[in-house]
Structure 1
């Protein structure tokens, strides 16, 4: 007898497929009319992780790695040839003092708003939300709104920054984590001091994770480009494999970097740039829809997963921060995390030509998938590396609880605010113009008075006829062409209305045409150009 199989796999497939199908029916309306991105509890995540919170965090971390890896390769591919080499000055400002200021500003706000939190703990939380998110940035640099309102150079610098700073979040995060491990609580449970923390930060984070990932991305991107050129010239590759090559490259880099333990996010972005350094692949796939389709599927899936795993109840019920402080912290971070530093240095970034563009770039620095990825990395390090007697140390457990509540709440705030900012800005731009246009139309509308005839006035019909004749005569005189001179004669052309009234072109004999050309073939003196 048939029975219901309410398994987790069936529920996930049905929910995900149904939502994507329904969203696809109105996707153009949401993206191009309402300017909404794909960010959106039908899923039971604890069941998929066998009831283990650690397994759930591992699933979330690997899922975010996958989405970010594909997004960053595609971000590198869509940039023009040699973009990083050409625009290195603008990028160095955004990735250097820009990221540092965002990190310090956010850390100070967290330190001020979260009770009983040390500054060392605050810089760990601030590091998680320092990078801007490439997934949410696509909602402002792609589509009809971006084509109309965001200049192309500005779109590209936003894409490049959001792609590069995701991989550069490791140094900010691990500086605080190493200091916490070797300096916090006197370094209990560890053998080392502050010097050990700085040394490990340099050779493990900067050398192994950052520099190695850059070199690995360059090598893989260069080899992939030459191999694809060779296969295309030899006609060894079909069109389907050609189109999916960049996505397969992203999966390869994520997997191999995970095996050797280096920074897969930065490697993906660098490989994407090197892969399309000659602009060949970007131009060949410019009109293709496969990559945007895969991009949409991943975005929908990751944000549905975020909605399922987000600790909604902990925003109100936690021992870290009261809800009113949490809300105020979210507002302050959205306003002060990025906007002041971009306004301060926008004159050194030639892509930002106006103050309004600087305000736009400064406000639109979303926190999303990248922040959740660093959240999971941070909690895994605190649980696995900062131990006393096999258990997480007291300060590490406190930071792990605080980073979960604060980072998740800031991500939700960013998804909501940055997701609806574009349609609200569009409405705020058009509504005043519409009202002003309606008011000016009603003010300037001055119709001709309509005279209602009096039945006792026997001359009303004749009077109206005379008025109409006078009005028509005045109008015809106003539109009559200006006279011009030919030789010694003055020609006064008749208006179209007078010609029609005279019956020209019906039974009357037309006027004899005037010869405007002399015997030598030149125009006679005084002939206007409009008469030829």
Structure 2
């Protein structure tokens, strides 16, 4: 831990002079976690500088802020996917979206129904609908980060991005059936409206509208570019203009604007021309980054911390924490482990586990829960019926789960990076011993370095330890022995010289131990411990580290 913290502290010390984006990439902490933390700090519960709930109609403002950010993120995902990706990978997407969402929706509803006795199962389904879809903003921030690009296969990053975008728009049917069953007196009427409005009018019509707009814009821009009427800059400008136009049209007629934005992004880059023209253009990425930062600052200040303990509504911290843990482990991991063999992009159970874990909740959950509130009655105190009780508890539960997901998924990559960093740092140190003798001391012949015994008699000068299990000897100098350890990491490879007692002109102590936290600790050992013991301790620690890795 000390090695990791000390190394990253050097990066933090340059905050005032360096590039903030570079710092974020080095720490593997994305804008989601930083923005939320900053929003909490300046929000009404800490500094009191920024309070979105004091602006008037909290639900309406929150709904529109989340709508714009979500639509922009979904359009970006659609544009950045390879050409005709949705058609070419339809099988895997259908498996990851439909059965996985349905399983998570029903299971989360059961957990909520069990944890909160005053909420019936229909209301639990409504809350679960807000917590079912993967958030595309957080997912994109994770899979497009430095760590993911280095360690996650491209096909996994693409399938996660496409799945998060698709299931966010498909949350409408899950939400609408719950709302209709809650507010409608007749089950038959509720199911009829769910099919006609929830599926045909919202999902299917919204997708068609987005695809048509995207194809029309793509055709117009290709013709304009061929005639020399527009340049690359015009493509970047249309990046944002098309998003606003699409969600404006879809929202006006009451269709699924999120699916419309995603469909428009996929359609406009279907042949790859739009992506080619906007390649290496950072303006759109900067706009997307700024919107994400502003959105999560808003969410951090919006979180209702005071409502997280409301015993009169059966809401307690213990129940909320239990719900977060259950969602993290049961919402996506079990179905993906069962169904990953039907997804061509996922080849091993480890990849399925990774995809199951990285199903964060964030902007999408806040947006869907806020939309649900606009269709529910205003709650009284105390709530008069189940619909009012649902309206009083919905966003409190969703907000706590979103906060937990941001913390867990935002810190997952730094912790994974830390787990890989510590053993590799110690292994990568290059050690050089120099000693003057024709025969090794008795204690030296019993030491195992990286699991390999030293030869009983050393008569040559240099042993190049290229392979931890093998040494190559040379006899250029009969007065000493040098052993060079393997250099695993180019960045952290270090060489130090240790002079053993007994050599002509040598000091009676170890001159230099390898720099770094481990060397500093050993150098602080005083005269109470012999120099031989210091070397033994160092070698034992190296051997233990090799065993852990």
Q: What interval of TM-score do these two structures reach, taking the shorter chain for normalisation?
A: 0.7 to 0.9
Per the alignment, residue 292 of structure 2 pairs with 299
- Matching of residue 140 in structure 1 with residue 142 in structure 2: yes
Q: Mapping of 1:309-348 within 5 angstroms?
A: 309-318=302-311, 319-348=313-342
- Matching of residue 431 in structure 1 with residue 425 in structure 2: no
Per the alignment, residue 401 of structure 1 pairs with 392
Distance 1:130-1:469 versus aligned 2 partners, 3 A rule: closer
Does the residue aligned with 1:342 lie in a helix, a strand or coil? helix
Which structure 2 segments of 5+ residues have no match?
Answer: 1-14, 37-42, 44-48, 439-457, 463-472, 479-549
Q: 8 Å contact 2:361–2:406 — kept in the other structure? A: yes
Distance 1:477-1:323 versus aligned 2 partners, 3 A rule: closer
- Matching of residue 416 in structure 1 with residue 423 in structure 2: no
Q: 1:448 aligns with which of 411, 431, 435?
A: 435
**1:449 to partner: Cα distance:** 4.1
CA distance in 2, matches of 1:158, 1:173: 22
Q: 8 Å contact 1:70–1:247 — kept in the other structure? A: yes
CA distance in 2, matches of 1:382, 1:216: 28
Per the alignment, residue 539 of structure 2 pairs with none
Q: 1:101 aligns with which of 83, 100, 103?
A: 103
Q: 1:249 aligns with which of 224, 236, 242?
A: 242
Q: 8 Å contact 2:169–2:259 — kept in the other structure? A: yes
CA distance in 1, matches of 2:461, 2:289: 64
**1:475 to partner: Cα distance:** 2.0
Alpha-carbon displacement from aligned partner over 1:399-431 (angstroms, at most 9, x marks no partner): 112211110100000011100110001101222
**1:450 to partner: Cα distance:** 5.0
CA distance in 1, matches of 2:398, 2:109: 12
Distance 1:250-1:24 versus aligned 2 partners, 3 A rule: farther
CA distance in 1, matches of 2:425, 2:110: 43
Per the alignment, residue 370 of structure 1 pairs with 364
**Relative contact order higher in (CA < 8 Å, ≥ 6 apart):** 1
Alpha-carbon displacement from aligned partner over 1:474-519 (angstroms, at most 9, x marks no partner): 72599xxxxxxxxxxxxxxxxxxxxxxxxxxxxxxxxxxxxxxxxx
Q: 8 Å contact 1:366–1:418 — kept in the other structure? A: yes
Does the residue aligned with 1:38 lie in a helix, a strand or coil? helix
CA distance in 1, matches of 2:324, 2:277: 43
Per the alignment, residue 204 of structure 1 pairs with 197
Which structure 1 segments of 5+ residues have no match?
Answer: 1-20, 50-54, 188-192, 452-467, 479-532
Per the alignment, residue 64 of structure 2 pairs with 62
Per the alignment, residue 128 of structure 2 pairs with 126
Q: 1:181 aligns with which of 180, 183, 191?
A: 183
**1:37 to partner: Cα distance:** 3.0
Per the alignment, residue 152 of structure 2 pairs with 150
Alpha-carbon displacement from aligned partner over 1:319-365 (angstroms, at most 9, x marks no partner): 23221111111111111111111111111112112222111110110
Per the alignment, residue 22 of structure 2 pairs with 28
**1:437 to partner: Cα distance:** 5.7
Q: 8 Å contact 2:77–2:161 — kept in the other structure? A: yes
- TM-score, normalisation: structure 2: 0.72
Q: 8 Å contact 1:73–1:247 — kept in the other structure? A: no
Does the residue aligned with 1:383 lie in a helix, a strand or coil? coil
CA distance in 2, matches of 1:338, 1:108: 15
Does the residue aligned with 1:350 lie in a helix, a strand or coil? coil
CA distance in 2, matches of 1:470, 1:111: 75
**1:255 to partner: Cα distance:** 0.9
Greater helix share, 1 or 2? Answer: 1
Alpha-carbon displacement from aligned partner over 1:152-211 (angstroms, at most 9, x marks no partner): 1111001100111111000111111111122xxxx3xxxxx1111110100011110011
Q: 8 Å contact 2:180–2:190 — kept in the other structure? A: yes
Per the alignment, residue 493 of structure 2 pairs with none
Per the alignment, residue 475 of structure 1 pairs with 475
CA distance in 1, matches of 2:338, 2:17: 40
User: How many residues end up aligned between the 2 structures?
Assistant: 421
Larger displacement relative to structure 2 (297-306 or 321-330): 321-330
- The structure number with the bigger radius of gyration is 1
Alpha-carbon displacement from aligned partner over 1:435-484 (angstroms, at most 9, x marks no partner): 4566xx78xx7653459xxxxxxxxxxxxxxxx99979972599xxxxxx
Per the alignment, residue 51 of structure 2 pairs with 44
Larger displacement relative to structure 2 (33-42 or 255-264): 33-42
CA distance in 2, matches of 1:338, 1:469: 62
Q: 8 Å contact 1:31–1:37 — kept in the other structure? A: no
Per the alignment, residue 229 of structure 1 pairs with 222
Per the alignment, residue 535 of structure 2 pairs with none
Aligned-residue CA RMSD in angstroms? Answer: 2.8
- Matching of residue 357 in structure 1 with residue 357 in structure 2: no
**1:258 to partner: Cα distance:** 1.2
Does the residue aligned with 2:419 lie in a helix, a strand or coil? helix
Q: 8 Å contact 2:303–2:399 — kept in the other structure? A: yes
- TM-score, normalisation: structure 1: 0.74
